[in-house]
Chain A
Amino acid sequence: MTTATTPKPKKDMKSMAENYLFIIPAVVIFSIFYIYPFYDILNLSLHEWKGIGPKIFVGFRNFQELMVDKIWWKSIWNATYITLWALTFQNVLAFMLALACDREIRFKKFYRVVFFIPPVLSQVVVGLIWRWILYAGQQDGQHIGLLNHFLSQIGLSHLANNWLSDPKTALTMIAIVHCWQGFGWGFIMLLAGLQTIDKQLYEAAKVDGASSWSQFWNVTMPMMVPVMLVVVILTVLGAMQAFILVLSMVGQGLVFHTEVPVTRILAAMQGTKQFGYACAMGVNFAIILIAVSTIMKLFSNKMKQA
């Protein structure tokens, strides 16, 4: 009995070794470009390093300092503020437009293309275009910025403002521009989701006497939950990590009113050469994002089960 079964594991071993060999290139590439950098960031976050010279091990001191760094936590709040705008204004707009384009309307294809233009533009270009629109300067008593000029043309010159240099409006302007650029992604995904809903469900609801509102609430919304959750997760991850738009719209920032986590990481790395502290910020930020994504995933699983 024993002699009959012995050769089989040998063959399995050989087959397994062959299989493992096939995944070695992927493992090597993954290790070099993902695992090693991740390990290096974790390792650096426990050191003090200026980018040159020896690394001094400081344990969790960078994390301790980060916990009491008010500007860091303000930057997290600022990113959350942009995210809240994106979750509400951006996604509601995307959903409304997706609903409109899912119906039989004229120029449907044209709208689809137009709505998808902002997301494919570079964030630097978008930031600079909006800087020009929101420009606050005047020449010969005339507003040069498009928005202020428009406001003065319609008799609302008292509303003209230093949009990007006023602490009351700067971050909101960045959030609005982020939404303007980002709603196209949500629009495409939500439209794709809407098109997968079986039309027979609407016909059955109609036969049962359901109104348009009832069809939307009882057919469209439940069927769209999985797509919406994906859109929400991507929106949160995208908005929390937004920074190119911030840099191109307000440069190095308006006091600390427009700081976001990535600009703080860049400031620590490029400005003050505190690589260890910057890595600690990166690790802290990653933990926050992983926690948020996990909560949303759990929520998504519960919704699916329901």
Chain B
Amino acid sequence: MKKFSFVAVVLVLICSGVIVACTGCGGSKEDPNQVTMWHWMTDRDAVLQQLAQQYEQETGVKIKIELFAPSDSYSQRITASSQANTLPDIFGILDKKEIFADFIRYGFVANLTEEFAKDGGAWEKSMFPKALDVNRFKPDNIYGIEPGIYGVPIDVTNIQMLYNKKLLAKAGIKKAPTNFSEFLASIKALKRVGVSGLVSGWGEIWMADAFASNYAFNIMGEEKVMATYKGDVKYTDPDWIKVLNVFKTLSEAGAFMEGIVTKPNKEAEQDFALERAAFAYNGSWCVNVYHDMNPSLEYSAMLPPTINPKRPMKIWGGAGSSFVVKETSTRKDKAIAFLKWLSAEKQQALLAKETRNLPANRKALESIPEVLADFASVMDNTTHPTIWKYNELPAVTEAFDKGIQSIIIGEKTPKQVASEVQAVKERETEKAKRRQ
């Protein structure tokens, strides 16, 4: 009996240990003077750690910075932690605005509007408005979220075209093309000297989507694009066919580098840095990447060449890296104070210098390289799905983006793709209605 009791006690202890370990009840006691921040930016980890140490020296508040990369895994971790109620004091939401809204709706994210409004709105005024817009919910937002600012941007980004000065000169092109016909002429000239035209990482399909979106805004304007997403305009509309025709025209002109449709952006960046293509379509983060790959690369940024001269070319941008504060954090004030410090001019200048990213604080612009300044100069031309009134249904976006691939590889015509996308749109709208 004694032996039996001993075995029973040991087994019960083992089981309890397993259950406690699995449920996370055995977590360490929270330190009231330590703020935890989770991020996903491998290239910025070192400088963030350095800034955290500096902050501790200045204020005595310890900032524990933890890196979880890549961004897909980070995003999954944030979702899982919200379910397990183990979110850190500061974290980022990398998903669409709809998911961001859900995080707010279910009480995971603090409203920072009052903080931004303090001292006559000094904090808000120091930021690029486009960067703040990503974290802002307007009074008429379709998500039903209380209007306000819910996140702090630490950098901004935009996606433009880049050109290799040396390769353009080799082809006898004196200035970067500003409209579509000039661009096609440049492609012809480059082909004559055996240089590939445009490279981009369209194996990461959202980049092709961004390029198409640029032309959609240029050809038909924001209102009509939004009307399409809302369901009032069909994808078979001539303007949408024109957008899809951009890809057909470029493909037929041989403008795209071979294999562009399955090319990861890292490979596309390598192609441009190693001067295998004259033009690239890439984000402002590329300045850091190109510098590492080929420090002597001579290049500059340009807006994608317009088709409709009456409308400005709108590019994706504004959305850089942003952080939010956990609503239920016991160290909420300390977390906000750290983010305020991190987004101040001095810290932003250091971040921009060390990582060659565009700072979110406008005053920190003076310390950035020339190419990055080119990117910064068109921040007013930026737009982004996270600030649009309407967003397209994911299945429709997928059909549209895959349709672009089909056009580039010559499998389908723009008209075929437009009809197919419209069919998906009607099916998905019907499905969404049934769900309601």
**Chain A residue contacts of B196, Cβ below 8 A:** 137-139
Which of A81-89, A181-189, A268-276 is the interface stretch? Answer: A268-276
Kindly provide the distance from the CB of A57 to the nearest chain B CB, expressed in whole angstroms.
12
In the assembly, what is the distance between CA of A25 and CA of B14, in Å?
7
Q: A29-B18, A131-B267, A251-B263 are contacts. A24–B99 as well, Cβ < 8 Å? A: no
Assess the A165–B262 pair: CB atoms within 8 A: yes
Assess the A21–B398 pair: CB atoms within 8 A: no
Assess the A162–B259 pair: CB atoms within 8 A: yes
Assess the A270–B76 pair: CB atoms within 8 A: yes
Q: Give the nearest-CB partner of B1 in chain A.
A: A14
Q: Which of B7, B257, B411, B435 contacts A255 (CB 8 A)?
A: B411
In the assembly, what is the distance between CA of A131 and CA of B258, in Å?
13
Most buried by B among A24, A165, A249: A165
User: 1/0 contact trace for B85-103 toward A, CB 8 Å?
Assistant: 0000000000110110011
In the assembly, what is the distance between CA of A267 and CA of B401, in Å?
14
Assess the B18–A252 pair: CB atoms within 8 A: no
**Chain B residue contacts of A136, Cβ below 8 A:** 258-259
Most buried by B among A65, A170, A255, A273: A255
Which of A48-56, A92-100, A101-109, A212-220 is the interface stretch? Answer: A48-56
Kindly provide the distance from the CB of A28 to the nearest chain B CB, expressed in whole angstroms.
5
Assess the A22–B262 pair: CB atoms within 8 A: no
Assess the B257–A137 pair: CB atoms within 8 A: yes
Kindly provide the distance from the CB of A249 to the nearest chain B CB, expressed in whole angstroms.
8
Assess the A170–B262 pair: CB atoms within 8 A: yes
In the assembly, what is the distance between CA of A81 and CA of B72, in Å?
28
Q: Give the nearest-CB partner of B394 in chain A.
A: A272
Assess the B102–A50 pair: CB atoms within 8 A: yes
User: 1/0 contact trace for A238-253 toward B, CB 8 Å?
Assistant: 0000000000011111
Q: Give the nearest-CB partner of A170 in chain B.
A: B262
Assess the B99–A50 pair: CB atoms within 8 A: yes
Kindly provide the distance from the CB of A306 to the nearest chain B CB, expressed in whole angstroms.
46
In the assembly, what is the distance between CA of A250 and CA of B409, in Å?
14
Assess the A254–B405 pair: CB atoms within 8 A: yes
In the assembly, what is the distance between CA of A164 and CA of B260, in Å?
10
Assess the B79–A165 pair: CB atoms within 8 A: no
In the assembly, what is the distance between CA of A146 and CA of B332, in Å?
55
B105 at the interface (CB under 8 A from A): yes
Assess the B11–A254 pair: CB atoms within 8 A: no
**Chain A residue contacts of B204, Cβ below 8 A:** 251-252
Q: Which of B14, B76, B259 contacts A164 (CB 8 A)?
A: B259
In the assembly, what is the distance between CA of A148 and CA of B181, in Å?
32
B152 at the interface (CB under 8 A from A): no
Q: Give the nearest-CB partner of B72 in chain A.
A: A270
Q: Give the nearest-CB partner of B256 in chain A.
A: A165
**Chain B residue contacts of A249, Cβ below 8 A:** 262
Assess the B194–A255 pair: CB atoms within 8 A: no
**Chain B residue contacts of A29, Cβ below 8 A:** 18
Q: A50-B99, A251-B204, A255-B409 are contacts. A164–B262 as well, Cβ < 8 Å? A: yes
**Chain B residue contacts of A48, Cβ below 8 A:** 435
Assess the A138–B102 pair: CB atoms within 8 A: no
Range for the number of chain B residues in contact with chain A: 35 or more
Kindly provide the distance from the CB of B169 to the nearest chain A CB, expressed in whole angstroms.
16
How would you classify the secondary structure of chain B's contact residues: helix, strand, loop or mixed?
helix
Assess the B258–A252 pair: CB atoms within 8 A: no
Assess the A137–B259 pair: CB atoms within 8 A: yes
In the assembly, what is the distance between CA of A155 and CA of B79, in Å?
55
**Chain A residue contacts of B75, Cβ below 8 A:** 270
B221 at the interface (CB under 8 A from A): no
Assess the B435–A165 pair: CB atoms within 8 A: no
8 Å CB interface, A247-288 against B: 249-256, 267, 270-273
B406 at the interface (CB under 8 A from A): yes
Assess the B259–A135 pair: CB atoms within 8 A: yes
Assess the B79–A51 pair: CB atoms within 8 A: yes
Assess the B431–A65 pair: CB atoms within 8 A: yes
Assess the B203–A25 pair: CB atoms within 8 A: no
A203 at the interface (CB under 8 A from B): no
In the assembly, what is the distance between CA of A21 and CA of B3, in Å?
13
In the assembly, what is the distance between CA of A197 and CA of B19, in Å?
48
Kindly provide the distance from the CB of A16 to the nearest chain B CB, expressed in whole angstroms.
12
**Chain B residue contacts of A251, Cβ below 8 A:** 201, 203-205, 262-264
Q: A18-B7, A165-B258 are contacts. A141–B102 as well, Cβ < 8 Å? A: no
User: 1/0 contact trace for B59-73 toward A, CB 8 Å?
Assistant: 000000000000010
Assess the B398–A53 pair: CB atoms within 8 A: no
Assess the B22–A32 pair: CB atoms within 8 A: yes
Assess the B102–A52 pair: CB atoms within 8 A: yes
In the assembly, what is the distance between CA of A131 and CA of B4, in Å?
62
**Chain A residue contacts of B267, Cβ below 8 A:** 131
A198 at the interface (CB under 8 A from B): no
Kindly provide the distance from the CB of B432 to the nearest chain A CB, expressed in whole angstroms.
11
B381 at the interface (CB under 8 A from A): no
**Chain A residue contacts of B264, Cβ below 8 A:** 251
Q: A137-B276, A141-B194, A255-B406 are contacts. A165–B261 as well, Cβ < 8 Å? A: yes
8 Å CB interface, B186-220 against A: 194, 196, 201, 203-205
**Chain A residue contacts of B108, Cβ below 8 A:** 52
User: 1/0 contact trace for A23-34 toward B, CB 8 Å?
Assistant: 011001100100
Q: A255-B402, A271-B394, A271-B398 are contacts. A21–B258 as well, Cβ < 8 Å? A: no
B47 at the interface (CB under 8 A from A): no
Q: A165-B258, A255-B406 are contacts. A14–B18 as well, Cβ < 8 Å? A: no
Beyond known contacts A52-B106, A273-B96: 18 more, CB 8 A cutoff: A14-B4, A22-B11, A24-B15, A28-B15, A52-B99, A52-B102, A65-B431, A131-B267, A136-B258, A137-B276, A139-B274, A165-B259, A251-B203, A251-B205, A252-B205, A254-B262, A255-B405, A270-B76
B residues sitting closer than 8 Å to A (CB atoms) are 4, 7-8, 11, 14-15, 18-19, 22, 72, 75-76, 79, 82-83, 95-96, 98-99, 102-103, 105-106, 108, 194, 196, 201, 203-205, 257-264, 267, 271, 274-276, 394-395, 398, 402, 405-406, 409, 411, 431, 435
18 CB contacts below 8 A, A to B, read: A14-B4, A21-B7, A21-B8, A22-B11, A28-B15, A32-B22, A48-B435, A51-B99, A53-B102, A58-B435, A136-B258, A165-B262, A166-B409, A250-B203, A251-B204, A255-B405, A270-B75, A272-B398
